[in-house]
Structure 1
Amino acid sequence: MKLHSILLSLVAAASMAFAGVAAAHDAGDTVKPNFSRAIPNIPGKSLIAVEVLYPPGGASHAHTHAKSAFIYAYVVSGSVVSKVNDEPEHVYKAGESFFEEPGSLHAVSRNASKTKPAKLLAVFVVDSNDKELTTNVK
């Protein structure tokens, strides 16, 4: 019974986390949940992965992530333009990756192509109780 309650809590937390990511990405991209799991040997931390699908010319709003979030981003296909904090914009091609430290501003995140789609896998290491993973910056 206790295991059942824990599993239900994890599923509910993951659903809320994914909803927070999807709500913040409404400027021409689609966010699809990929993986969510509490890290058993690091109490209070979870690993969450989402796929960010950019149509040709698609982009995300400028955004921040949960204050605890360390993010590893891997370009699965196409090319993605990214600007994190004061770094210059950089084009990442399929097979390349970058990261975001906790508290970073992701000012630019867009498809580098106006004719081909792009896909990014974003992997979060985050406090398990962080519900809003992504927040738009106005």
Structure 2
Amino acid sequence: MPTRSVAARALIATLSLGVAAHAQDTPANAPQAKRTVLDKHDQSGVPGKEIIIGTAELPAGAVIGWHMHDGDESGYVLRGNLVLKTRGQPDQVLKAGDHFFNPRGAVHSLAAAPGGDGGTALSTWIIDKGKPLAEPVK
């Protein structure tokens, strides 16, 4: 099994690819979100599942395009104002201290709230082992 640092670097590369895949949805000069994986572990007693914790920093004007996860995401806004868009549901305007949940397969996007300074969210995902953390969706 690779060390956590090697696994984390591979996961960060996967996240970077996911963000890059959305470049066609946003202008070339738009600010970019920065995703950081903080930790990753196999879920105890649940074969085939892993738990990942990480942050998404969105400067003013940044958007993480439409994507989904092969598992559940539970998140918390650490600072700033963000907008969570989930297909088929009203937009959720989130501020520091708010929490959110994306069930497995929910197609969603996260953006810095218009007119604000951006924001940072902390999320925990429980996903199928071996799947990418985020999969781009048109």
- TM range, smaller chain: 0.7 to 0.9
Give CA-to-partner distance per residue, 1:51-99, whole Å, 9 cap, x none.
100011111111122x3x1000111100110112311011011111111
In the alignment, what sits opposite 1:47? 51
1:136 alignment partner AA: P
Superposed, 1:1-138 pairs within 5 Å as 6=1, 8=2, 12-26=6-20, 28-65=32-69, 67=70, 69-106=71-108, 108-130=109-131, 132-138=132-138
CA contact (8 A) 2:8 2:39 kept: no
Distance 2:113 2:61 in 1: 7
TM-score by length of 1: 0.81
Question: CA-atom RMSD, angstroms?
Answer: 1.9
Distance 1:51 1:23 in 2: 16
Q: Per the alignment, do residues 11 and 45 of structure 1 end up closer, same or farther by CA in structure 2, a change over 3 Å counting?
A: farther
Q: Per the alignment, do residues 38 and 11 of structure 1 end up closer, same or farther by CA in structure 2, a change over 3 Å counting?
A: farther
Identity %: 25
Distance 1:22 1:129 in 2: 17
CA contact (8 A) 1:22 1:32 kept: no
Gaps of 5+ in 2: 24-31
Point out the structure with max Rg over C-alpha. Answer: 1
Gaps of 5+ in 1: 1-5
Distance 1:121 1:101 in 2: 16
Q: Per the alignment, do residues 36 and 11 of structure 1 end up closer, same or farther by CA in structure 2, a change over 3 Å counting?
A: same
Distance 1:53 1:14 in 2: 17
Q: Per the alignment, do residues 115 and 103 of structure 1 end up closer, same or farther by CA in structure 2, a change over 3 Å counting?
A: closer
